[in-house]
Amino acid sequence: MSVIRSRLAGVGAYLPQRVVTNDDLAKIVDTSDEWIVERSGIRQRHIAADDELTSDLATRAARAAMENAGVTADDIDLIVVGTTTPDDTFPATAAKVQANLGVPGGFAFDVQAVCSGFLYALATADKFIRAGDVKTALVIGAETFSRLLDWTDRDTCVLFGDGAGAVVLRAAEGEGKNTDTGILSTHLHADGRFRDLLYVNGGPSRGQKVGFVKMEGKEVFRHAVTKLAGVVEEALAANGYTSADLDWIVPHQANRRILSSTSKKVGVGEDRIVVTLDRHANTSAASIPLALCTAVTDGRIKPGQLILLEAMGGGFTWGSALIRL
């Protein structure tokens, strides 16, 4: 049976120039390189310049992905940006990116699912493509997460960074089999009862302030391992695969120990997990497309391979996407 699939036609990324090391942070809060590396695996993060906005990062990543895919602004029908740190409360960052890129038509909007934001954006774009409404979509995860950090709170400020990653999706014909090229399935979840474990204590409706990130790290960690292992198994089962069939997992990059525990739970060796958090830290919605772009660009991820993206974040939200490149 002939079906429409969303094929991954190009990837792109952008990281702000300024690098902040763990030793740099040890000068402003009571922490150490040793603690941060041991507890999280993070060694450094990129932080946006004062005049650099989420839309600037997103635009640069999008341009790189468009060039990689060989598409022009005229080809883009849809732009979805996953972000928790929009430039402004409105208009959507996606609309600003549309203008920056000179995309003459189509539609553009943001989705907000924190660290799962890229997966929510990807799943949304995939649905529009599969429905036949869109031929070419730009899906971006972009954050200036540093703007939500309390730089006196060592529990949170050492964990995050800024960046953007993007993919171009194009409609392509498939046979409806698990051997097709493109997105095979996406699986999204949310459970708002866990709101208080990871949140920002501000917002337009709550006191007109942006607020700071608050997190019960240990509890989030515990939920992350269980929920991520569950969603990996869900995606594999839905497509008739087992973990042995996976070439790569490209996870959300929150904590090296979460990646190790999840990989053990699902039976995928750590040599098949893409890790960039040592250099990027947790860039929320940007972390998966940044890691994906890194591993495609350095030749680890190759055409024809089966890759699984997975993430979990505030909300809680969590999800996965199984893709054959």
Q: Does 258 bind ligand UT7 (CB under 6 A)?
A: yes
Write down the least CB distance from residue 56 to ligand UT7, Å: 23
Active site residues: 115, 252, 282
Task: Please enumerate, as own/partner, the contacts of 37-41 that have beta carbons within 8 Å and a separation of 24 or more.
Answer: 39/255, 39/257, 40/158, 40/159, 40/255, 40/256, 40/257, 40/277, 41/255, 41/256, 41/257, 41/259, 41/275, 41/277, 41/278
* CA 42/CA 22 separation, integer angstroms: 8
Positions in 295-324 near ligand UT7 (CB under 6 A): 313
* CA 124/CA 115 separation, integer angstroms: 16
Write down the least CB distance from residue 194 to ligand UT7, Å: 11
**3-state SS class at 39:** helix
Interhelix angle 54-69/93-101, nearest 10 degrees: 50
> Which of 170/280 has CB closer to ligand UT7?
280
* Binder among 154, 214, 265, 272 for ligand UT7 (CB under 6 A): 154
Positions in 2-61 near ligand UT7 (CB under 6 A): 31, 35-36, 39-40
Q: How many residues does the chain have?
A: 325
> Which of 27/218 has CB closer to ligand UT7?
218
Contact pattern from residue 261 through residue 300 relative to ligand UT7, giving x for each residue in contact according to CB under 6 A and a dash for the rest: ---------------------x------------------
> Nearest residue to ligand UT7, using CB?
217
Q: Does 214 bind ligand UT7 (CB under 6 A)?
A: no
Residue owning tokens 């750590």: 270
* Binder among 169, 250, 254, 290 for ligand UT7 (CB under 6 A): 254
Write down the least CB distance from residue 214 to ligand UT7, Å: 12
Q: Does 220 bind ligand UT7 (CB under 6 A)?
A: yes
> Which of 211/217 has CB closer to ligand UT7?
217
Q: Which two tokens stand for residue 7?
A: 């094929």
> Which of 159/168 has CB closer to ligand UT7?
159
Write down the least CB distance from residue 281 to ligand UT7, Å: 10
Write down the least CB distance from residue 154 to ligand UT7, Å: 4
Contact pattern from residue 99 through residue 128 relative to ligand UT7, giving x for each residue in contact according to CB under 6 A and a dash for the rest: ----------------x-------------
- The DSSP string of 56-118 is HHHHHHHHHHHHHHT--GGG--EEEEE-SS-SSSSS-HHHHHHHHHT--SSEEEEE--GGGHH
Give the CA radius of gyration of the chain.
Answer: 18
Write down the least CB distance from residue 146 to ligand UT7, Å: 14
How far, in Å, are 22, 126, 201 from residue 295 at the CA level?
A: 24, 22, 35
Q: Are 188 and 19 in contact (CB under 8 A)?
A: no
Give the Cβ contact number of residue 237 at 10 Å.
10
Q: Which residues of the chain form contacts with ligand UT7 (CB under 6 A)?
A: 31, 35-36, 39-40, 115, 154-155, 158, 217-218, 220-221, 224, 254-255, 258, 282, 313
